[in-house]
Structure formats: C-alpha cells, structure tokens
Structure 1
Amino acid sequence: MNLDVFLSLFSLMLISLAVFLLSKKLKLPYTVLLVIAGSLLVPISHLEVFSFITSFELTPELLFFVFLPILIFESAYNMNIRNLTENIYSIGSLAVVGLLISVLFIGIAGSYVFEIAGFPVPILALLLFGAIISSTDPVAVLALFKEYGAPQRLTLIFEGESLFNDATSFAAFLVALDLMTKGYHGSESAIGALISFSTMLGGGIVFGLIMGFIFAKLIEKVHGNEHLEITLTLLVAHFTFILTEVISEHLVIAGQEIRLSSIIATLIASMVIGNFGRYKMSPDVEEYMEKFWGYFAFVTNSLVFILMGLLFANLAIDLNVAIWPILLAIGTVVVGRALSVYPILWLLNLTGKERPIPRNWMHLLAWGSLRGSLAIVMVLLIPDDLTIEGWTLNYSVKQFIAAVTIGSIYFTLLVKATTIGKVMHALGIDALTGMEQVGYHKSKAQIYDKTLHKLDALLQDQQLTQKQYDRLKQRYESLYQIACLECKNAIGESDTLIENMLRTYALGIQKEELKDIFLRGEIEEKTYKKITNMLSIQTERIKRGQQQIVSVNEHFPIDSLERFVLLVSRLAFWRDHSFKDEELYRYYRALSKISGKVVKELNAVEDSSLSAVFDDKTALEKLLSLYKNIQQNTHEKMLAVIHKNEELLSQVNEASAAQSLAVLQEDTLDKLHKNEIITSKLYIMLRHELEQKSH
C-alpha cells in the first residue's frame, strides 16, 4: 500500500511535467490543464494496471500543514512591503470589506436564489460556501497577468488581495462553521462571531510579526552557514503556521477561547523575512532563495491542481443532480464578486487616499478572480456528519458544498483563466505606456548592437566565414538602425521621456553598484537599506511621472512601516540604529561610489550604442551635472567626518582591506574546488583555516 502511495506521488509529478510542456505548446494556463488532466486520470485509474494513480490523495492535513505554508511563504517572501503599504487601502478594502460583502451576498441573496429555483438551502450553509469561495487564488491569474503585461500596480493589488483575503476567508469560514455546529443565538452569537473574527486577524498579525523578527534574528546569528539559513526559512513557514494552530487550541482568556489566524501569521512572518531577513542572509543564499522557494511552490501547485481534478471527478453527487445547484452558485458568486469590487473601489477613489484605480482595472479585478487550493482545504475540513436545521436535500451538507465549490473553481479555471488575455486586450490594459514603448525599442537597439559586436568577435576567431559575416552583419545592422529610428519616433517631441529614460538608466547603475558594495561587506545592512530606500523612492517617482531629485541635499524620509520596524528592533534586540562615525563615513563613501559609477557610465554613453538612443545632449548634460554635484557633495561630507575623527580613515581602510582580502581568498578557494584543482578534503581544510582567521 505504501509503495502505491509513493508510486502515485511520483507518477503525478511526472504527469505534471508533461502537462507543463503541453501548456506551453497549446498556450493555455498550466493550472487549467492540470485540473483537466486530474479529471482524466480517474477513468484511467479504473484499469488495474493504473489503479495506483489514485493512491495519493488530498487530505486536510496534507493541504493545510504542508502545502499551504509553502504557497503562502513563496508569495509573501517576494512581496515588497513598501509597495504594499502604498496600496494598503485598496488591498485592505478588497481583502477584508470586499470579501465580507461577497460572503454576505452569497449567503443572503443566494438563499433566495436557491429557494426560487426549488433548492431550499439554509442561509448558514450558503454563508459557509460564501466564506469558502470568496477568496481569490493568485497562482494562475498572476502568471497570466505577467505574461500579458498587466501594469505592475494592478498586479500588486491583485496579489496583495489574494494573500490577505486567504486569511479573511479562512477566519470567516471558521466563524460560519462555528455558528453551524453551535447554532445561532441572536445578538450574542453575532457579537461573539465579530470578536472571534477580529482576534483571529489582529492576533495573527501580532504573532506573525513576533515570529518574523525572531527568525530574522536567528538568520543573522547563523550568517555564513548556508544550510542553517535555508533551514530557518523552511521553519519560519511551517513552524509559524503550526505553532499558531497549537496556541489557538489552548489559548483561553477570561473564559473566552481565542483563535489566531495561522494563515495571516505565516503571511506576515514571511513578509518580514522577505523584506528584512533577506539582508541578513549570506549573499549566495539570498540569490538562491527565490529559485529554491519557486521550485517548492511549483511542485506544490502542480500536485494541488492535478489532485483537485481527481477530487472533482470522484464527487459523491451525481453530476446530473448537481448541475443546477452548481450553475446557480456560479451566477451568485460572479455577482457577489462584482459587488465586492466596484462600489468599494469607487468609494476609495472618491476619498483620494490612493492614486485612482481606473475603471478598466476594476473590470479585470472582477473578472480575473480565480479560485484554488484554499477553497479545497476548507471543503475538506468540513465534518462529514455536519448537519443543519432545515436541511431537506437528498445529499449531505458537505457533499453539496463540495459540489458547488469545485464547480465554481472549474468555471473560474476553464472560463475566466482562458479568457483573461482577451479581456485585458479588449480593455486596453496591456497597452504600453510611453516609457515602455521607448524602453522596448531601446532594448532592441542594445540587443542588436551587442549582436554586432559578437559577430566581429566570431569573425576574428574564424568561427564565421567572411561571406557569412557580411550577410549577418547586413541583417543586424539594418535591425539596429530600425530599432534606433523607432525609439526616436516613440520619444517624439517629449522633453521628459528621454530624461526619465536616462534617470532610470542611472538608477539601475546605482542599484547594481550598491548591491556589489554590500556583498563585498563594505557597508552595513542598515546603510544598504537606507540607500536602497532612496533609490526605490526615485524609481517610483519616475513611474508616476513625478518631480525627480534636483538637489544633492534632498531628504528621503523613511516610511511609517520602516519606523515601526526600527522601534521593534530597538525594543526586542536593544539595537542602536543611529549612525556612528565609521558607519557614516561608509555611508557617504557608498553614495560617492555609486554616483561616481553613474558619472563614468554617462560619460561613456556618447561612445556606446546608447548614443543613438540617448541623443538629447541637454538631458544628458543636466543629469551628468547633477550626479557630479552629488559625488562632490558626498565626498565633502566624507572629509568632514574624517576631519572630526582623524584616526577613522586608517581604521576604515584597514577593515575594508581585510574584508576585501577575505572575500578574495574565499572566492579563489571556491574556484579551485569547483574546477577540481584541489580535492574536497583540501577544500574543507583550507575553508576551516580561513574561517578561523576571520574570527
């Protein structure tokens, strides 16, 4: 039996890979084909030779305690908290208020719809269904958003809503399930439900912050040990999730059972690690983390969606009986989603709390609301023997909710997911902005210019004949000229486009140089975060078409979230975040280096392929002058710090030299081992010696 389970697991993974390759050829969403494949596996499993396929099943424990934390961590780890807080009103409104509107509409209006259609379903059962089906799943739709070119802010709003409404949905599900099992007793039950809902979300946020900062501190403590750092990220997802559930089972205050949301606790802890803990990781681990968790999320989603298809095909209710309730449920859910999007975002636009959300974005948010794994988790958590007063249908409450839930999921995957691209195009959401059009042609020009240089090298190395070289040279020279011409046409008479492109180019240079400085150990974590904050603000200004930096002394304040994190860090770890003389010197030196790098690159623009694109001399000279002033200004501040502490320069230079030499020695040793010049035994010995010297 155990062998059948393992054989089933790995067979499903193999089938998932085949489905992935097929989805690329058919240009259909991967998750959609997985569900279809899962459904088709059921009749195949009836053959004796393939009977093992259904041995591996979705269980509540597997989904809830293994798969769900992985999916939450992978999404939350890559979410930028700064961007999230800038759109917190729209995300929060959709994830909490919008979801509750959807749940109540499905419960109340749905009961009338089903009653009229001849399917009398109690309101509590439909409220439970509403809590299950109202959360949106980001997996399939985000892949499509990126493929079809949805705006970054729209993608962020949808992803943020999808993450946070998972927690809201599950809290509402537990409240509804509690009302069904204990019964509704008027205002007492309503007040209790509201308190329970609030403590789940609020308590989950607080506990998630605590766990996130604890694990961030642990990652800092084991810095340099890659295996321990990766293990801690695995633990922060699953340990936070499970510990929250354990606390919820035993926490009682004033005779009241207090539940915390394990989903939101894991979500918040993961975001803390992704935005603050990642700076404490070793450079190699930090670069590897996204690939590591991306792989886990890929495998998890593959198994969840293919097993979802198996689950649907094995429904206990005959499809002939369930088809009408499913269609009624789909219609009610679609209307409920619309009511949870349009009024809320319309009111938010009126308040002016955030940048206005266009109407075509609202249309896509309403249509692109796919459902997925969390809904299945909640269905499986419903007790098989759940009963409710007034239930008269021929099948159980769980069978009914399972049928309408999976039917609704199928509708979103087979109808909504396959039409999102066309809907986006019809709404004009995939249209390129002026900056994107220029960037598109500029990138093509750079690609073809690099290709021309490569052709010269291939001819010199005698890898091409003169005839082949001439033919390819003529072709790519023509493509290069066309790309340059199209870039100039896209810029047109605009005075700001070329300057914004240059500023974007300069900020990219600064970010790359700053990352290298940080990885070499020349600056501390807080210095890196402070400068990164400055560069991020400037990048956002360009995207919004706002006034750019014009003064070397411009102040970039940290946001409220960063101030909160610093406060927590001081209270929890007694850490002083003020800049000492040595750190201040390194801060100004880093600013001087990255601005100097920009000056060097801008000076080289006229002699490179970019001269055909950035041919606005006025804009180039304006930006070059600004960065020269910044470099001069920061250099003067460096000298002022040195003048204040004359021994500082000697100390910093010695420490920097030691750090640079240590990095060089480690890199040299790694290359010797990788190229098999030394044995693993020698590598371990020498690595140990270097580590002892560094300490």
Structure 2
Amino acid sequence: MPSRPLLAMAVCLMLHILPLCVSAQGLAPALSPDDEAPELVPMPTGAQTKFVPLLFGLNVTDLDPLEGFFKWLATNSSTDACRVIRNSYLRVCNVPEVLGKLCDDFLAAYQTRCEHETQLFSCISLVSVMSVLVACFLTGNLLEVWHWTWLPHSGVSILIGFFAGAALKASVSAKGLEDFQFDESIFFLVFLPYIVFEAGLTIDKGMLWRHLGPIGAFAIVGTFISIFGIGYSLSWAGDVLGYNLPLVECLLFGSLISSIDPIATLSLFQHFGVDRDLYILVLGESILNDGVSVVMYDTFLQLLDVPFNGLDTLADSLQRFAVVFFGSILVGLLFGLTSALLFKYGQLQGNPTMETILFIVVAAFPYYACEHLQWSGIVAILVESVVMDLYTYQSLSTEAQLNTKFTIKCVAHLLEQCIFAYLGMQVCLAAENLDWNPAMIVAAIGSCLVCRGWVFPVAWLVNRTRPAGEEVPPRNQVMVWFSGLRGAVSFALAMKIPRYDELLKKGSEHVSEILAMTTAVVMYKVFIHGGLTAVVLRRLNIPTGCDQAPYTHPPLEETGPLLRLHRLLLPVFTKDQRSSRAVEYWSLPNRSIDVGEDGTF
C-alpha cells in the first residue's frame, strides 16, 4: 500500500485538477446561454484515467498523470486556461520532489504556452490601440480643417474603431480577440473618473452658479422623468409587440440610456461660438445627469433578483437614491477640502512637477472611496473637482496651475477618444452575438425622443421662477432637447448587466436585447443628431460667433449667501497671499494669469 503522505497528495491532486480534466470546458471562461462556445480541441480521455495508479500503490516515481492534459493544453492556451494552470501548480506542487515530473510539466507549459503568448498579444493590442488613436486624431483634425460639420469627432472615432474591429476579426483568431474585448471595469475605474473631473474642474463656475437652477432641474427632475418614462413606455411597447420584457429591466434600460453624452454637440458649440448660456445648460446638465442616472442604474440593478412590489419597491429605491446621492456629495466635499489643506500646508510650491502629480492623484480618491461604499463616484468626484478648483487650485504655484489644467485636459481628451474608438470596435466584434429586434429598437429610439420632451414643461416651470431676462428661451429649449446624445457611459452600463446564471438563478435573461437597443440608440444619436447639430443651429437662428470670454459674476454683496460663505472659506483653505485675488478669479477657470513681480497674480 502507498504511504499516507503519497495517498494524501494523490487525493489533493485529484480534487484540484481532475475537475479540469473531465472536460475541456473546465478551462473555458464562464459562458452564458447566449454566448457562442469557444472552439476547443477535446482532451484525450487517457488523461482522465491516469490518476488510477495513484490510488492502487503503483510506482509513481516517473508517473505523469496529466500527459494527455498537456497535449490538450498545447492547442488551447487562452488567458483563462493559463490562469488555471498557474493556480493548480501553486496548489499541488508545494512538495515538488513528490510529483517532480508533473510539476516540471506545469512550469514548462506555463512558460512556453502562456507567458510568451500573453506578452505577444499585449504588444499587438497596444500597437493596435495606438494606431487607432493616431488615426482618430488625424482624421478628426482634417474634418475640422475642411469644416465638415456633418460628421462629429466622436462619430469619426466610432467609425475608425469599427473598421479596426473588422480588420482584427478577419486577421486574428477568436482566442486573440479576447485581448480586445471591452472591459467595463476599466472604463468605470480608469477612464470615467478623469473625464468627469476635467469637466468639473474647467467648467465656468460663474456661469454654473448663474444657471444652477435650470441645470439642477434639468439634470435631476428631467432625468427622473426620462428614466421612468422610457422604462414604462418600453414595457408597454413590449407588451403590444408580444415581446415581454420585465418592467425592472425596462427601468434598468431607462436609467442607463438616460445618461447623456453630448461631446459631439459641445465640440460644435465651441467651433461656432454658440451663446454661452446655451453651452453651460447643455454641459452642466450632462455632467450632473451622469451621476443621477448611474445611481438609479445601480438601484435597479439590485432589483433584478428580488420581487418587484410596485410602489413599495420604488419608494425604497428613491430612499436609497437619496442616501447615495447626498452621501456622495459629502464625500466629495470632504476630500476636496482636505486636499485644499494638504496643498496649503504641504510646502510643495518649490516643486511644480510634484504639485501637478499630487493634484492629479488626489483627485481620484473620492471616486474610488464611493465605489467601494457602492455610492456614486461620479457625484463625489464632480463635487470634489469644483471644490479643488475653488480652493486647492489657488494654493498651487503659477507654473503648476498652468501645467495641471493642461495635463488633465489632454488626458481627458485622450480617454474620450479611446472610449469612442473602443465603442466602435465592440459594435463590430459583438454585433453578431446581440439580439437585434427591429420593432423593439424603433420603440427604444422613439421612447428616448418622446421622453426627452420633459425639457419643455420643466423649462416652463423654471422660467416662472427666473427674473426677467434670465429665462431659457424656446429656441434654447429645442436645442437642449436635440442635444441629448448618448455615448460610451450608456454602452458600458449595458455591458455591466450580469447575464442570467442558471445555477444561481440570478441576472438578466435579456442582456443581448438591451445591448442591441443601447447600441442602436447610441449610433442614432451620435450620427443623426450629432451630424445635424449645425443644421439645427442655423434653423433655430441661435446666435453664433459669440464672445467666449468667461462670465464675470456680480459683486459678492449682490449674489447671496453662498458666495459670502465662499469668501469666508478662502482664507481658511488657501494661502493667505492669494485669498483676496482668488475671490475675483474664482469663477474664471480658463483665465490667463497675470503674474506680478512679487510672484503673486
């Protein structure tokens, strides 16, 4: 009989490795019912039976119980397979002298079939991404030079990404395409934070304060109307068309598709010099709207696996929204004011490079803190960006001030183009796996257009509270309605929906349908509405060529308690020699800094 240690090792080996060898599917990524099974070479059955000698006391000195397994591995070396091999080696080879041959095979297989291939495809993917980005920037610049306003820059990036995806699909194997799949976690944890931060940091604070009422009404009240309007109308359309989409999933779609991304429109606004009042309305709504829609998305996502009890469930959802929204605001305030104290007392002004690096790194803290708490990182980093511009930015040296905003703007612009290029690539790579239902797609686009009509009644209510001359004119209302484009945030949220797991009985059974509707709405909005922006501006006779100088707010005594509070906080959170001038400059994020002989501005 074999010794107990050897028998224990054999049993351990079976428990950890045998389930992987029973079927080649054991090494494949988890698949949903809608996914196409990967092309794997079946593992020889002999590898499944070579464990038997371990249990009957035979000589195991030169035994290689997974010889057939490694032959199978030679033709299947996906990322998931390599991960399994690495983990299995760490588990069963703690005593390599007992199973030396087997452990040597593990190492050799991993080094030759996994490490090199991973590096190879990483290099290929990086070169491909950089080439696509170069093409996006060069083509977009040419369109601006040629004044081709019918194709927005974001649309250019989507098209280039689509053709890049088609080229990859034709030249790279199915396993190689895994390196190019859209990863929504990277989007939300790497790309989105600094895009939102840049928008909040550079927005004209004077104009933001002046139009805070309409912006808040559009972004909060309007988004709620849009979410529930789209959700219920799509549920009704599904019933009429005989396509029963659950109400919770319709509301989930309503929340993700209500996130607007008017990059194409805003770039044309800047190109034509559109009225600043209209520009700030569209920009301000889009920034704050993302936070509201993502919070409601997370709320409905939790309702996928629980019974939906109508008004009671909606009341609980709204209560959670209030906690998450206002809690995230407090987190953003806390981190923003803490960063102001750090830069005030940190003795960093002798090193502009260090100031810029710390400013950029500290900016992301509240986003990740709120994501860990399952709150809204978007709301937190937006609030923090405003606070950091008002206080932390004032404590930077003049050189660091210039470097910081320029660097953040470049990073945000680069990330935006990456997102749209990847969006186009995924439309090509994943289109055949989606459930394209023309009737439901038309219903989704129609519900988005109709429910966006909340702009007009909400603007009417806002105008009744605004002083004369400060109302939102009808032509601006039409442009705000038309500018409700959708983009990568909506697509990433749709990708984030978990597919139904038959074992756990959790997830959505209609992810493919939701992804198809989301893709169709995004493409329609970017190319049709984005491409017609210049035409609509002319038809509405909206003034262009306006002065783009930042708005200068009235004297502090005429602007209410909020700015008085700001004046009190400036000496506390900024360096003393800058506080008096910072009061005058706080609303001018794009200002040119006039440096005096004493080093102050």
Q: TM-score, normalised by structure 2?
A: 0.70
8 A contact 2:215–2:285 mirrored in 1? yes
Instruction: Look up the equivalent residue of 2:231 and give its one-letter code.
Output: G
Per-residue CA deviation, residues 360-410 of structure 1 (Å, 9 max, x unaligned), is 1111111111111221231222112279xx99xxx9321111111111101
**2:348 pairs with 1:227:** no
Once residues 32 and 50 of structure 1 are traced to their aligned partners in structure 2, the CA distance between those partners, rounded to angstroms, is 28
**Which residue matches 2:80?**
none
Q: Which residue of 1 aligns with 2:561?
A: 560
Indicate the residue corresponding to 1:382 in structure 2.
497
Is the counterpart of residue 537 in structure 1 residue 553 in structure 2?
A: yes
In the TM superposition, 1:180-329 aligns within 5 A as: 180-220=304-344, 221=346, 222-246=348-372, 248=373, 259-315=374-430, 321-329=436-444
The yes-or-no answer on 1:17 pairing with 2:134 is: yes
Where does residue 43 of structure 1 map in the other structure? 166
Distance 1:66 1:315, change over 3 A: same
Offset, 1:119: 1.9
Query: Per-residue deviation at 1:58?
Result: 2.4
Once residues 77 and 335 of structure 1 are traced to their aligned partners in structure 2, the CA distance between those partners, rounded to angstroms, is 33
User: Is 1:229–1:281's contact at 8 Å kept on the other side of the alignment?
Assistant: yes
Among 449, 453, 459, the alignment partner of 1:345 is 459
Distance (whole Å) between structure 1 residues aligned to residue 495 and residue 300 of structure 2: 15
What are the equivalent positions in structure 2 for 1:232-631 lying under 5 Å apart? 232-246=358-372, 248=373, 259-315=374-430, 321-338=436-453, 340-352=454-466, 355-385=470-500, 396-431=509-544, 536-537=552-553, 556-557=557-558, 559-566=560-567
Aligned mates of 1:353, 1:194 — CA distance in 2:
32
The AA in structure 2 aligned to 1:12 is: V
Name the structure 2 match of 1:29. 152
2-side partners of 1:89 and 1:175: how far apart? 26
Q: Distance in 2 between matches of 1:105 and 1:95?
A: 15
Report the 3-state secondary structure (helix = DSSP H, G, I; strand = E; otherwise coil) of the residue aligned with 1:143: helix
Partner deviation per Cα, 1:519-558 (whole Å, 9 max, x = no partner): xxxxxxxxxxxxxxxx9236xxxxxxxxxxxxxxx88556
Question: How do residues 166-177 of structure 1 correspond to structure 2 at under 5 angstroms?
Answer: 166-177=290-301
Other-structure match for 2:269: 145
Residue 562 of structure 1 and its aligned partner are, at CA, apart by: 2.9
1:578-608: per-residue Cα shift (whole Å, max 9, x none)?
xxxx999x98xx9xxxxxxxxxxxxxxxxxx
The answer to whether the Cα contact below 8 Å between 2:391 and 2:570 also exists between their aligned partners in 1 is no
Contact 2:219 2:289 in 1 (8 A): yes
For 2:309, what is the secondary structure of its paired residue?
A: coil
2:283 to 159, 164, 186: 159
1:47 aligns to what SS in structure 2? helix
Q: Which amino acid aligns with 1:347?
A: L
CA contact (8 A) 2:367 2:377 kept: yes
**Aligned AA (1:332):** S
Do the aligned partners of residues 21 and 382 (structure 1) sit closer, same or farther apart at CA in structure 2, a change above 3 Å counting? same
AA of the residue aligned to 2:132: I
The percent of aligned pairs where both chains have the same amino acid is 25
Partners of 1:215 and 1:232 within 8 A in 2 = no
Between 139-148 and 163-172, report the one with greater CA deviation.
139-148
CA distance in 2, matches of 1:38, 1:325: 26
Counterpart AA for 2:160: A
Q: Shift in Å at residue 32 of structure 1?
A: 0.2
Distance 1:228 1:57, change over 3 A: farther
Structure-2 change in CA distance of 1:3 and 1:559 (3 Å): farther
Deviations 1:310-353 (CA, angstroms, capped at 9, x unpaired): 22223365678433322221111111112x21110012112326
AA aligned opposite 1:423: V
Query: CA 1:563/1:206 → structure 2, altered by over 3 Å: closer, same or farther?
Result: farther
Q: Which has the higher contact order (CA 8 A, sep 6+)?
A: 2
Flag the 1:35–1:432 CA change in 2: closer, same or farther, 3 A.
closer
Residue pair 1:31, 1:140 contacting (<8 A) in 2 also: yes
| Distance in structure 2 (CA, Å) of the matches to 1:274 and 1:569 | 12
Name the structure where helix makes up a greater proportion of residues: 1
CA distance in structure 2 between the aligned counterparts of 1:99 and 1:353, rounded to whole angstroms: 25
Check 1:64–1:277 CA distance in 2 against 1; reply closer, same or farther (3 A cut).
same
Q: CA deviation at 1:272?
A: 1.2
* SS of residue in 1 equivalent to 2:499: coil
What is the SS of the residue equivalent to 1:201? helix
Is 1:77 matched up with 2:93? no
Give the Å deviation of 1:85: 1.8
Shift of the alpha carbon at 1:169?
0.3
Report the Cα offset of residue 34 of structure 1.
Answer: 1.1
Aligned residue identity for 1:371: R
Q: 1:562 to 1:10 in 2, by over 3 A?
A: farther
Question: 1:23-70 CA deviation, whole Å, 9 max, x = no partner?
Answer: 333423111011112222232113336986762332122011100101
| Contact 1:386–1:398 (CA under 8 A) maintained in structure 2 | no
- For the 8 Å contact 1:215–1:273, the answer to whether it is kept is yes
Aligned residues: 459
CA distance 1:189–1:301, change in 2 (3 Å): same
Q: Deviations over 1:248-281 (max 9, x none)?
A: 1xxxxxxxxxx53211001110111123222111
Change (3 A) 1:96 1:422: same
Work out the CA distance in 1 between the residues paired with 2:158 and 2:132. Answer: 12
Code of the aligned partner of 1:313: C
Could you give the per-residue CA deviations for residues 170-201 of structure 1, whole angstroms, max 9, x where no partner exists? 01101111222222234442332111101111
Q: Residues 228 and 401 (structure 1 numbering): CA distance in 2 closer, same or farther, change over 3 Å? A: same
Classify 1:558/1:105 alpha carbon distance in 2 versus 1 (closer, same or farther; 3 Å): closer
Give the letter aligned to residue 438 of structure 2.
Answer: I
Q: Distance in 1 between matches of 2:417 and 2:510?
A: 29
- Are the counterparts in 2 of residues 8 and 54 from structure 1 also a CA contact under 8 Å? no
How many angstroms apart in 2 are the aligned matches of 1:101 and 1:281? Answer: 42
After the TM superposition, which of the residue ranges 118-127 and 201-210 deviates more from structure 2?
118-127
State the alpha-carbon separation in 2 of the partners of residues 429 and 331 from structure 1: 26
Contact 1:102–1:336 under 8 Å retained in 2: yes
Give the match for residue 56 of structure 2. none
Q: Does structure 2 retain, via aligned residues, the 8 Å contact 1:172–1:197?
A: yes
Which amino acid in structure 1 is aligned with residue 336 of structure 2? Answer: G
Structure 2: runs of 5+ lacking an equivalent: 1-117, 585-594
Question: Which amino acid in the other structure matches residue 564 of structure 1?
Answer: L
Shift in CA distance, 133/431, structure 1 to aligned 2, threshold 3 Å: same
Residue 5 of structure 1 and its aligned partner are, at CA, apart by 2.6
Q: Deviations over 1:664-693 (max 9, x none)?
A: 9xxxxxxxxxxxxxxxxxxxxxxxxxxxxx
